[in-house]
Chains A and B, each alone.
Chain A
Amino acid sequence: MSAISELSSITRRKGKATAAEKKANGRDNKAAYIFLLPWLVGLVAITIGPMVMSLYLSFTDYNLLQPPEWVGLDNYTRMLSDARLHNSLGVTFTYVFVGVPLQLAVALLIALVLDKGLRGLPFYRSVFYLPSLLGGSVAVAILWKQIFGTTGLVNQVLAMFGIQGPGWISDPSTALGSIILLHVWTFGAPMIIFLAGLRQIPHMYYEAARVDGATTLQQFWRITLPMLSPIIFFNLVLQIIGSFQSFTQAFIVSGGNGGPSDSTMFFTLYLYQKGFGQFDMGYASAMAWVLLVIIGVFTAINFIASKYWVFYDD
C-alpha cells in the first residue's frame, strides 16, 4: 500500500472509528507519545515551525544580518515582474512535463519487456536500476557534463559517423535537454514499481482475452493498461512532486549559474541563488511557498483527473 492510497483512505474512513478502536482509545496514550516523542519534536521544530516561520518571512525583507522587516505582499508582487523567475518556472515546467512522461514511458516499456518470466531477469533489473541510485550524485552530474560537452563522449561517437555535434550543454537550446535525458536515464525506480504492479494482474484475464481472440496489442490496451493505471498514477504523482524539486544536476552541469543564458535555471536553483547567494531570505521564502502551492495544485489536478482515467478493479 502506498503513502498516497493510505492518505486518501484516511480521508474516506473519517469519523468511522470501529467499536474496538473506540474502546481502546486513550489506553496507550502515555506510551504512544513517548514513542512518538522524537518524531513530534522533529515535526514541530524541524518541519511545522520552519514552515510557519518561512510563511512569515515571505512577507518580510530579511538578509540574516538585520532583523526581518515587514513588507507585506512586496516579495510576491516583485515575483510578478521578475523575468528571471518567470524563465525559471518555464525551465522547471519543461523539465517536469517532458522529463516525467518520457521517463515513465521508458520505465513502462522496459518493465513490459522484462515481465514475462524472462531468463536473466534479476540481472537486467539490476542493470536498469543502478542508474537511478547513482543519478542523483554529483559524480554522475560531472560525468554528464563531460559526456555532453563540446568534445565529450556523445560528440566523439557522432564524429565517428562524420557528424559534428554541438556543445550540448553550452548551447542554450540543448542544455536543458541533456538534463532531461539524465532524468530519463534514472527510470529504474518507477520500472521496479511497474514490475511489481504487472505481477498483480491475474493471468486469467489474459487467458480469457486470448480465448476471445484478442491480439497482443488489444490485450495491452484493454487489460494491462487499465489494470496498471493505479500504478501509473502513483508513479506520476511521485515523480512530478520529486522533479519539481530537482536541483543537483542542474547546479553541477551549469556550474551553479543555471546557464547558458539561464536555460537550465531551475526554480530551485534560482531560489538557492536568491536565498543563499544574495541572502534575500524573504524573497527565497516567498519563492518556496510558490513552489509548494504549484506542487500542491498539480498534485490536486492529478488526483481530480485520476477519476477519469484510473481504473480500480473492485
Chain B
Amino acid sequence: MTTKLETLPTPDKKSGGAGKPTNHRKPRESRGTLAFSRAQRGKSLMKHGILILAGGLMIYPLLWMVVSSLRPNELIFREPGLWLNSLEMSNYTSGWSALTHPFGHYMINSAIVVIGSILGNLISCSMAAYAFARLQFTAKKLLFGIMLLTIMLPFHVVIVPQYILFSQIGWVNTFWPLIVPKLLATEAFFVFLMVQFIRGIPRELDEAARIDGAGHPRIFLRVILPLMVPALATTTIFTFIWTWNDFFGALIYLTDPDMFTVPVALRAFVDSQSATSWGSLFAMSIVSLLPVFLVFLFGQRFLIKGIATTGIK
C-alpha cells in the first residue's frame, strides 16, 4: 500500500551514517523588506514561546519529582515550586533500605534480566532477520507474514498458557520466563527492524564474499553483522528500556521478594508505605528512572531513527 510509508528513512542505506532523510525543504527565504523579516522573527519567537511553554509543562512533573525527592517529606504536599532551600538526602538513604533487601539488590536483578534479554534479542533476532532478508526458502512469505502478525499480537492471549508452561517447568520465581522468550526471538518487532536494515546493505558485498568461498554463517558473521551495528544498537537500547520498565511479566512470574526486579519492588514499596513516605518513594522512583534516562541521553540517535523507520510505540 503505502508509498509514503515505504519511503520513511531507512537506517543508513550504505554502511556509514549517510542515511539521513532527504530534506526537500529549502532554507527560509532571506529576501524581503525589514517588515517582512520582523514578521518572520516575531512568528519564530512565538513558536519558540509555545514550544518552551509546552515542553516545560511536559517536563515539569519529572523535574518536580526530582526536586521533591530532595526535600523533607512534608513539603511534597505543600510545595509545587522547584526551588530548594536545603538538600535532603535522607529520602534516598531511607528509601534504599525500605524493603526486605537494599534497593541495589532489585537493580541487580533487573540488570540480569536486561542483559539476558539484550543478548537473547541480539542473537536470535539477527539470525532470523538474516534468513528473511537474504535467503530464499520454502514458505518464506507465509512465515514472514506470520512474523509481522506476531508483532501486533496482544501479549494477553498467550500469557495464561505461558504461565502454566513455565510454572510446570518450575520456572516461576526465576528469571527464565523473562529471558528465554527473547532468546527465541519472540520480540518479532526487532526481527522486522533488522530485516529492514539488512535490505539496505548492498547485496554485492554478500556476492563478493560468496565468490571468495564464504558460506552463510560466514557471510552473516563477517559481512552482515558488522554492517548492521546501528540496528543492533537500536535493538539494544529499546530492549534495555522495555525490559527495565517491564512490569506485567515480572508481576506474574516473580512473587518472591528475593527475585523482584525494580518495577515490582517499587510496586511493593507503594503498597507497603503510608502516605508519609512519599519522599523516599520518589527517591527510589528517580533511582529506577536514572538508567533509562542515561540510555536515552546517550542513545537518542538510535532511538529516534528506530522509531522513525519502523514506527513503534
Contact = CB atoms under 8 A, between A and B. Distances in A.
Q: Are chains A and B native binding partners rather than an unrelated pairing?
A: yes
B23 A137 contact: no
Contacts of A73: none
Given A28-B136, A227-B4, A134 B77 contact: no
Interface stretch (B85-93, B182-190, B225-233): B182-190
A197 interface: yes
Interface string A77-89: 0000000000000
B149 interface: yes
Given A42-B186, A117-B25, A9 B128 contact: no
Contact of A138 (B148, B165, B266): B266
B222 interface: no
Nearest to A306: B1
| Interface residues on chain A, size class | 35 or more
Contacts of A33: 131, 137
Interface in A9-50: 9-12, 14, 21, 24-29, 31-33, 35-39, 41-43, 45-47, 49-50
Shortest Cβ-Cβ A-B pairs, 9 listed: A42-B184, A32-B137, A139-B285, A50-B161, A53-B161, A196-B308, A35-B131, A39-B128, A39-B185
A160 interface: yes
Contact of B154 (A116, A255, A291): A291
A271 B154 CA distance: 13
Interface in A122-140: 124-134, 136-140
A252 B216 contact: no
Interface in A159-200: 160, 185, 189, 192-193, 195-197, 199-200
A238 interface: yes
Interface in B217-263: 217, 220, 241-242, 244-245, 247-248, 251-252, 262-263
Interface in B55-92: 55, 58-59, 61-62, 64-65, 76-80
Given A9-B1, A118-B47, A134-B289, A245 B155 contact: yes
B185 A136 contact: no
Contacts of B282: 142-143, 146
B135 A28 contact: yes
Contacts of A193: 307-308, 311
Residue in B78, B125, B185 whose Cβ sees the most chain A Cβ within 10 Å: B185
A110 B244 CA distance: 28
B47 A50 contact: no
B21 A200 contact: yes
A72 interface: no
Nearest to B10: A1
A36 B128 contact: yes
A33 B64 CA distance: 53
A261 interface: no
Contacts of A143: 61-62, 65, 282, 285
B112 interface: no
Given A6-B144, A54-B161, A287-B156, 4 more contacts: A39-B125, A127-B58, A134-B292, A275-B159
A12 to B, nearest CB: 8
Given A39-B127, A288-B157, A242 B313 contact: yes
A313 B58 contact: no
Interface string B6-17: 111110000000
Nearest to A204: B24
Contact of B311 (A43, A235, A313): A235
Nearest to B152: A241
